[in-house]
Amino acid sequence: MRRAIWFAVILVPMLMCGGVSAAMADCREDHDAADQNVRRTRAGIEKLADGTDAAKCAAYRRYTAALGVQRSVIERCDSGSNRAQNVSAIDTGIAEYNKRAEVICRK
C-alpha cells in the first residue's frame, strides 16, 4: 500500500516531468540489493555464534564484502547531506569486522 501511494504521489509526477532517470532507478535497485545482502550476511554471522573459527572467518569476510558493496552504492548514489556520514559509518563497520576476522582467521 505504501509503495502504491508513494508511486502515485511522488514518482508519477516525476516521470511525467522526466525527473526520474535510469540511473536513479538503478541506484534504488542497487541499494535494495546491497541492503538485502548486508542483512543476509549479518544473519549468517549471528547463526554462527557457536560455529567453528573457519566458518566464522568466512562469514566475517562475506559480511565485510557486502558492506563494501553497500558503501560503493551509497558513495555513488547518495546525494544527501548525510552521505559522508553514511560512508564513514560503513567504513567503521568494515574496519571493526576486519579486526574480528583477523583474530578469528589466524587460528
What does pTM read for this prediction? 0.74
CA atoms within 13 A on the CB side of 82: 3
Confidence of residue 6 (pLDDT cuts 50, 70, 90): very low
Per-residue pLDDT tens digits for 74-86: 999 998 899 999 9
The pLDDT value given to residue 18: 47
Per-residue pLDDT tens digits for 32-58: 999 999 999 999 999 998 999 999 999
Domain assignment present for residue 53? The answer is yes
Domain assignment present for residue 81? The answer is yes
Domain assignment present for residue 99? The answer is yes
SS3 21: coil
Domain assignment present for residue 50? The answer is yes
User: Cell digits for 52?
Assistant: 567453528
Domain enclosing residue 44, as ranges: 21-106
